[in-house]
Structure 1
Amino acid sequence: MTRYPEEPWHLAGQMYLSLWLVPRSELPEVAHGTRPVGVAGRGVVGAAWVVYENDSVLHYNELLRAVLVRDGLRPRVCITDIWVDSTASMAGGRELWGIPKEMATFDVDRTAGVRAAARTAEDALADAVFEPGRRLPGRWPLSYRVAQTRHGRLKTSPVRSRSTVRTARARWAAQESGPLRELTRRPALLSLALNDFSIRFGHAARGPAE
């Protein structure tokens, strides 16, 4: 059995995020008991490249897609697709929170802006270029809950983060036959670089699924 840290995980690093409005017919399946938040018949979808480094409990790369959902009237974030290059992260994400992590290999170049690519053993997943823009003043706090299906039940987990924020321009590409193909069929609504973030993910102690 792969060993992984107990929750909460304290993570730090860099995130490069884009947001889209996607037709409801193209949205992936979300967590049991939740529904996508609708905006004029569309859902809010985010995709991000993440580099966990510095003081993170684990160091690894990540590519994810998430959907803004609601649990009753409460907004949540549901991670529908996610790849990492750490077996400990994959095992911990699945068992602790029901996050469906898969393995991939990554190529991330941060020498001039950000260029990132990820592929599984079978095929390419996606690649993207982020060109950072203006930095917004201060460090921005954000608290939310991630909602996932774990052992057939809804599991929600708290996330608290703080980061500097830059506007960004992003170009995404993905295999037409791949899971992220919908995100490259239309331009992103908004792209951001969340630099030098710190995240506390999960409960202080394990408890029953919420």
Structure 2
Amino acid sequence: MGYPPEPWSLCGRMTVSVWAVPVAAAPPLPVELRGAVRVVRAGSRAFVGAAWVDYRPGGDMSYRELLAAVLVRAGIRPRVTISHIWVDSVDSRDGGRELWGIPKELAALEITGTRASAGSIASAGFSAVRPLLRLPVRFRCTQVLHGRPRTTPVRATARCGTAKVGWDFAPDGPLGFLAGRRPLVSLVAEDFRMSFGAAAQR
């Protein structure tokens, strides 16, 4: 096993945008989740986020990531479900799949202060407004692990601010459902410190 046990302690920088897309265009939930969570809707729209993440040295692992996730709920409790995700680390791919059911794939990713790219999947240019206060961020991620729902806690702090992001999605690629759409909001989380996963019970 080349990856650490959960929880993973990670640090770095994230840029995320959120879209309201027609429910029919949003990634469908896996069959195994349909009794556990529901897609959050605003009329005929669902909310989808996409993020570039640069996990930097200082945490348990360092690698780069592009992901898309759908906002869902378990009752009234909000969750996210990751529908698409690419990393440039075999250990991250294997750990994400085996620990939490996160469907990580490998891709060549490049992330700098102003640009990001993931082969023919997507690219972006971004600039951030000066980050504001360091804020706590907590959410839960529900995936399918061994044929059953698995919900994982995520806890973080970050210096958060708004960002300007210009996305370019390949229309015939896996994130083509976002091509040509304008995000509702884009945010940057600078110098985040994250714990992903639950500590082992003793």
* TM, length-normalised to structure 1: 0.90
**Secondary structure of 2:121's partner?**
strand
Aligned runs of 1:117-196 on 2, under 5 Å? 117-119=117-119, 124-136=120-132, 138-196=133-191
**1:117-145 deviation line (CA, Å, top 9, x unaligned):** 002xxxx1000011111432x20101111
SS in 1 for 2:194: strand
Query: Aligned residues: percent identity?
Result: 46
Q: How far off its partner does 1:77 sit?
A: 0.8
1:79-103 alpha-carbon deviations (Å, 9 max, x no partner): 1100000000000000100000000
Q: RMSD value over aligned CA atoms?
A: 1.4
Partner residue in 2 for 1:88: 91
The answer as to whether partners of 1:163 and 1:197 remain within 8 angstroms in 2 is yes
Question: 1:200 aligns to what?
Answer: 195
Query: How far apart are the structure 2 equivalents of 1:195 and 1:140?
Result: 11
**TM norm structure 2:** 0.94
Structure 1 segments of 4 or more deviating over 6 A?
A: none
Per-residue deviation, 1:206: 6.6
Residue 14 of structure 1 corresponds to 13
Which runs of 5 or more residues in structure 2 are unaligned? none
The structural deviation recorded for 1:108 is 1.9
Task: Please report how far the alpha carbon of residue 53 of structure 1 lies from its aligned counterpart in structure 2 after TM superposition.
Answer: 0.5
Listed as ranges, the gaps of 5+ residues in structure 1 are none
CA distance 1:179–1:161, change in 2 (3 Å):
same
Counterparts of 1:183 and 1:132 in 2: how far apart (Å)?
Answer: 21
How far, CA to CA, are the matches of 1:125 and 1:148 in structure 2? 22
Q: Counterpart in 2 of 1:109?
A: 112
Verify: 1:29 aligned to 2:39, yes or no.
no
Contact 2:131 2:190 in 1 (8 A): no
Give the Cα separation in 2 of the matches to 1:3 and 1:109: 26
